[in-house]
Structure 1
């Protein structure tokens, strides 16, 4: 179980072969001033092939993590459905001589800064086993870990920490494995970081029996009597919206003004005579409810 992908940089073509792949992780920037010249084409190519897309930055860890992160974000402009990675390794001359403590501080600051900018996207860390075991001190990998152990079987990186991606082979192209079951599961995982839509507000509900009782009781009682105020107010609000009841008479009392307004609604529904006497029935009240967003029980 699991899915396969690749990570691409400028030494891959602008349109790598995608057969059998579920995802691609594309290098965007390096240090303070380098941009992968094939980034835009590789990203578009991956999306066109239906792949889930990740975007990564390679750091120069003597520089400002915030400045490098901001430049990466300005160029990458991550889209919904994409994930972001810091490629945390430092074997080239740009990172030689940078103390391990500074490398750790860079990692933590970059991940924090980017997550603050992208709170609704996965922001994670790439590290090989050497960096993960000999440089790391806190196991901070942001939202997920992409671990590199070239030469091991896909999906068996040989570490204890939970991981999401495994780079298991590095040759002319880097080969990667994701522990999720399929591409849809990976898309769902990325989407799980997005804000949840606010639940639709509950529709008010009125009791037909209560409304009928109020329509029969309130007109005969003292001025302003309200047998079932909450139910009646929902109905009156709808009658006001229909232009059949003046707002100052919408007080929760099913008095003569409300009875008259409801009779007008019944006639609007096609009823005549005693069927339009202003006493609600299930059909007419159901039509009013459907139009004005409340429930009848």
Structure 2
């Protein structure tokens, strides 16, 4: 298992010691861009980490949100791309149609990148009806690392949010993860 973290604007700086991969929140909806994105990307790349980017999906206009995400994200070949699908700030939920449209459009526009779905265990179990996760499921379930309580195949498991969001990936090495990602 590889070890990684995911960060947002709340972690302007972060420690890369012992970290094989870093997912960075790039965008949200169709107007928010992480103000620390450039520095966070530089820090992760300088540390030799596999880099991924994620977009927080709001209900509606999935295709517009994909285009915004890709316009604002400094992805390079071999970087991973993900959509964060969960309860939104106003209490509504982005439905399966939005999630599936986002992932399909992302894969259409970036066919050389792996596209993943991030969501929490309860959200996956209670709201997903299609089981579509693009190229892989990144599941949040705060239990022992690498043992999420789901029946679906997964690639990345977020197992805690303390002191930062920590993850493990089902790869034997960073080279294997990079090869899978296409880098």
TM-score, with structure 2 as normaliser:
0.96
Task: Check if 1:90 corresponds to 2:97.
Answer: no
Q: In 1, are the aligned partners of 2:58 and 2:88 still within 8 Å (CA)?
A: no
Equivalent residue in structure 1 for 2:57, among 52, 59, 84: 59
Q: In 1, are the aligned partners of 2:158 and 2:166 still within 8 Å (CA)?
A: yes
SS at match of 1:126: strand
Q: Does the C-alpha gap of structure 1 residues 189 and 97 become closer, same or farther in structure 2, counting only changes over 3 Å?
A: closer
Could you say which residue in structure 2 is the equivalent of 1:162? 153
SS at match of 2:77: coil
TM superposition shift of 1:163: 0.5
Equivalent residue in structure 1 for 2:139, among 143, 147, 159: 147
Could you say which residue in structure 2 is the equivalent of 1:38? 36
Could you say which residue in structure 2 is the equivalent of 1:109? 101
**2 CA distance for matches of 1:138 and 1:67?**
22
Could you say which residue in structure 2 is the equivalent of 1:293? none
SS at match of 2:6: strand
Map 1:1-297 to 2 at 5 A: 2-13=1-12, 15-61=13-59, 63-93=60-90, 96-98=91-93, 103-150=95-142, 152-191=143-182
TM-score, with structure 1 as normaliser:
0.60
TM superposition shift of 1:159: 1.0
For structure 1, which runs of at least 5 residues remain unmatched after alignment?
195-297
- Larger relative strand fraction: 2
TM superposition shift of 1:91: 4.2
Q: Structure with the greater relative contact order (CA < 8 A, sep ≥ 6): 1 or 2? A: 2
TM superposition shift of 1:172: 3.3
**2 CA distance for matches of 1:104 and 1:162?**
18
TM superposition shift of 1:145: 0.4
**2 CA distance for matches of 1:139 and 1:83?**
20
- Larger relative helix fraction: 1
RMSD: 1.2
Aligned length: 183
**Larger of the two Rg values belongs to structure:** 1
Could you give the per-residue CA deviations for residues 209-242 of structure 1, whole angstroms, max 9, x where no partner exists? xxxxxxxxxxxxxxxxxxxxxxxxxxxxxxxxxx
SS at match of 1:47: helix
Runs of 4+ in 1 over 4 A off after TM superposition: none
